[in-house]
Structures are given as C-alpha cells and as structure tokens.
A and B are shown apart, each in its own frame.
Chain A
C-alpha cells in the first residue's frame, strides 16, 4: 500500500528565505507526482506535475525534483514571500490501472514579513 509522508508538518520562515519541502513515498512504482497548494478553506491549486520519467520541473520560483528510485521528491521555493503561506500537499499517482492520487498530510508553511 502506497504511503506518502511529508516533512516537516509545519515550517515558519522569514520573508526572502529559500526553503525546501520534503515528500517521500513507499512504493517507487508511480505514474507521476503532483505538488499542490491549499489555502485555508479553499480547494487545491496544482503547482507542478512531474512524470515518472522526469527528474525535475520548474515554474517561476518553484522547483520540484523527483528521485523515484529512492522514493523522494522535494519542492524548492526561492525567495519566499508572505503570499506563499499555505499548506503544500504532495500526491503520487500509482501505476497499474488505478487513477487514484495518494496524498501526504501536507506541510503548513508560514512566511513572516
């Protein structure tokens, strides 16, 4: 059974700092991995999608890496801003017919001005 773990559960940083969020998964047989952002009381916003054959994806100040063999992904946020404050969720899509996304519990990020 695929399990996704995100560390840390919460993170507080000063504005301008570069930071890394971690995601690990137990079964390396994944189809792809997605990073999402969720603001309080809101739905999820897709940030980056990495296919299993890819090593990384970039969008603006965000960079996500994937090491499938070791079951790890990282989300790098450069020059953090207060507007980046949110919960960041990592999810993997399993190979083998299932269309389910398996989610981690998220990392709650607070960027202090």
Chain B
C-alpha cells in the first residue's frame, strides 16, 4: 500500500509555544489529506480536511485559528498547533487519500507541559 510519513513522531513543548507537524505522501500524490486527533482508548476524531491549494475544511468544534493547516503541495500537508496548552496534548494522525483508499501516517504524540 501507499506510504504516509509524519514528522516528528513525538514532541514535548512548553505551554504557549507553537508546534508544527508535517505529513507527507511518499509514493503518491494526494489531492486530499486529513488530520485526526485520537484520545487514549478512543477512536479517531476528524479535525479537518485539506485540499491542495485551498483552505482546509474544519469539523464543527475545531478552532481553525488554533489548528492551522496548510496543504501547499500534492505530497505535503502541515498542521500547526498555535499557542499550545496542556489540553492540546494528544495523538495526531494524518491521512492521505489515493483514489478510493485512505492511508494513514504513524502519528505524532504531542505533550504540552
């Protein structure tokens, strides 16, 4: 199957700082990428859908000014958590769509102190 990478795999930061997470489709071009958040022992919660070259579509309840998404190319999307706070600590997973199938990255564990 297609490969999606994420960087970093984990990050620890101080409250108030911003953190950027990169998501790349390594062997295919993805016009659509997705960002999910997963709490312990819970399923994935879709945060936003991003299309290359256009603004992301955020799910209800997700602050777009807090979670900035940029999909600048067909192989790269970034999620920036601005002014992170401890409640933003979570596991963030990106996904890229190739035809009818969705492939997921390995996830990024964010811990905000």
Q: Which of B42, B49, B104 contacts A44 (CB 8 A)?
A: B104
Q: Report whether A41 and B100 are in contact in the complex, using a CB–CB cutoff of 8 Å.
A: no
Q: Report whether B49 and A43 are in contact in the complex, using a CB–CB cutoff of 8 Å.
A: no
Question: Which stretch of B12-20, B80-88, B105-113 is in the interface?
Answer: B105-113
Q: Once bound together, how far apart are the Cα atoms of A42 and B5, in whole Å? A: 12
Q: Report whether A46 and B44 are in contact in the complex, using a CB–CB cutoff of 8 Å.
A: no
Q: Which residues of A contact B104 (CB under 8 A)?
A: 36, 43-46
Q: Report whether A46 and B106 are in contact in the complex, using a CB–CB cutoff of 8 Å.
A: no
Judge whether B97 is part of the interface by a CB distance below 8 angstroms: yes
Main secondary structure of the interface of B (DSSP, over half): strand
Residue in chain A with minimal CB distance to B45: A103
Q: Which residues of B contact A89 (CB under 8 A)?
A: 43-44
Q: Which of B34, B46, B91, B100 contacts A32 (CB 8 A)?
A: B100
Q: Which residues of A contact B109 (CB under 8 A)?
A: 41
Q: Which residues of B contact A44 (CB under 8 A)?
A: 44, 93, 95, 104
Judge whether B1 is part of the interface by a CB distance below 8 angstroms: yes
Q: Once bound together, how far apart are the Cα atoms of A105 and B106, in whole Å? A: 18
Q: Which of A34, A46, A89, A105 has the most CB of B within 10 A?
A: A46
> How many residues of A are counted as interface, with CB atoms below 8 angstroms from the partner's CB atoms?
22
Judge whether B102 is part of the interface by a CB distance below 8 angstroms: yes
Residue in chain A with minimal CB distance to B32: A99
Residue in chain A with minimal CB distance to B38: A38
Q: Report whether A34 and B102 are in contact in the complex, using a CB–CB cutoff of 8 Å.
A: yes
Q: Report whether B100 and A49 are in contact in the complex, using a CB–CB cutoff of 8 Å.
A: yes
Q: List 11 A-B contacts (CB under 8 A).
A: A31-B100, A42-B106, A43-B105, A45-B1, A49-B100, A89-B43, A89-B44, A99-B49, A100-B46, A101-B46, A101-B102
Given A34-B102, A49-B101, A89-B43, output 20 extra A-B contacts at Cβ < 8 Å.
A41-B91, A41-B109, A42-B106, A42-B107, A43-B4, A43-B6, A43-B93, A44-B93, A44-B95, A45-B104, A46-B103, A46-B104, A89-B44, A99-B32, A99-B34, A99-B49, A100-B34, A100-B46, A103-B44, A106-B43
In the A-B complex, the 7 residue pairs with the smallest Cβ-Cβ separation, listed nearest first, are A44-B104, A43-B106, A43-B104, A43-B107, A105-B43, A103-B43, A49-B101
